[in-house]
Amino acid sequence: MHRVPLKTFNWFLEVQTPCSMHAHGLLETLYVGKSKYQEIVVARLCNVGKALILDGKIQSSEYDEWIYHESLVHPVMLAHPNPTEVLILGGGEGATLREVLKHKSVKKVTMVDLDEEVIKVSKKYLPEWHRGSFDDPRAELVIEDGRKFLEEAPENSYDVVIIDLVDPTEGAPAAKLYTKEFYELVKKVLRDEGIMVTQATSTSYTLDVFTVVYRTVKEVFEKAGGYHSFVQAFDATWGFVWGSTGPDPSSLSPDAVDRLIRERLEGELKYYDGITHVGMFSLPKHVRKAMAAQTTVSTDERPYLALV
């Protein structure tokens, strides 16, 4: 049998579940540091380029961050008839902010992130991600715990809330930012016809977590649903869950998505369009079945955490 020699690398090993890990050839380490909340690494990896890594987990990569961020932002933004004020919870790299600011209707975006150090590192090492979005006059940056911000925010303040946080794992800063009580706070700050979306972990490796997030959001919002996109840096299909008091992104036709992109966006989209939208929202049978069967609701008293 012909054997292909394995190139000698230093390796970055990302644990995905208690039973599996993903090995990335490590070309260069650009930054290593530790904030009050988490370890921060920026590294150049063989297959996915420059990557932001928090507590040993890849958050986004140069190769495909646009797949993740376009998937997170645009379905809910286009589903809303006229989003003018948007709240982002998390999103330290600035790429979620970048995508929101492509919408011409947006007058103000408030981005709330707990870890100022991640933002400082991103501003310096990840300009391809934020592309100057932090300096946009419509953008306001608040360094604060997202839950505390929601508790103190007035009711009916935002059209869209986009939640771009780390996974809910034991000891992680976001462990209680995926609970019923948290989503009730999100609903409080949304206006009539408001809509929210959260990253919801992998539909491949952590389908249980994805379905619990969906079931928990469904407990709070009149309408809820899920979708996913494949992200190579995560080596997985990645799930997103939305909740709404009116708009339904799953009802958008391909033609409607393409028309809304033409009418309402400035700047290029590399991944998301009408045909892609259909694929994202066409979840496979086993995922739909798991969503329908899930009965667990994550609460502050008993938060459901990913095992990694």
Six token digits for residue 261: 């992109």
User: Binding residue per annotation — 146?
Assistant: yes
Distance of alpha carbon 219 from alpha carbon 76, whole angstroms: 19
The DSSP H or E segment spanning 82 is: none
Sheet architecture: strand order including 223-231? 139-143, 108-113, 85-90, 158-164, 190-202, 236-244, 223-231
User: Binding residue per annotation — 14?
Assistant: no
User: Binding residue per annotation — 75?
Assistant: no
Instruction: Please enumerate in sequence order all residues whose Cβ is within 8 A of that of 90, keeping only pairs 6 or more positions apart, or say none.
Output: 96, 112, 113, 146, 163, 164, 165, 166, 174
CB 80 within 8 A of CB 195: yes
Q: Which of 164, 167, 208, 235 is catalytic?
A: 164
User: Binding residue per annotation — 93?
Assistant: yes
First to last CA, the chain: 36
Known active-site residue 136: no
User: Binding residue per annotation — 136?
Assistant: no
CB 305 within 8 A of CB 169: yes
Task: Quickly tell me which residue has 């961050």 as its tokens.
Answer: 65
User: Binding residue per annotation — 258?
Assistant: no
User: Binding residue per annotation — 232?
Assistant: no
**Which stretches within 35-179 are classed as H helix?**
65-79, 95-100, 116-125, 127-130, 146-152
List strand residue ranges (DSSP E) for the chain, in order.
Answer: 10-17, 20-34, 39-45, 49-54, 57-61, 85-90, 108-113, 139-143, 158-164, 190-202, 223-231, 236-244
Six token digits for residue 299: 């609460």
Positions at the binding site for S-methyl-5'-thioadenosine: 38, 113, 145-146, 173
Active site residues: 164
Binding residues for spermidine: 69, 93
Going by the annotation, the residues of the binding site are: 38, 69, 93, 113, 145-146, 173
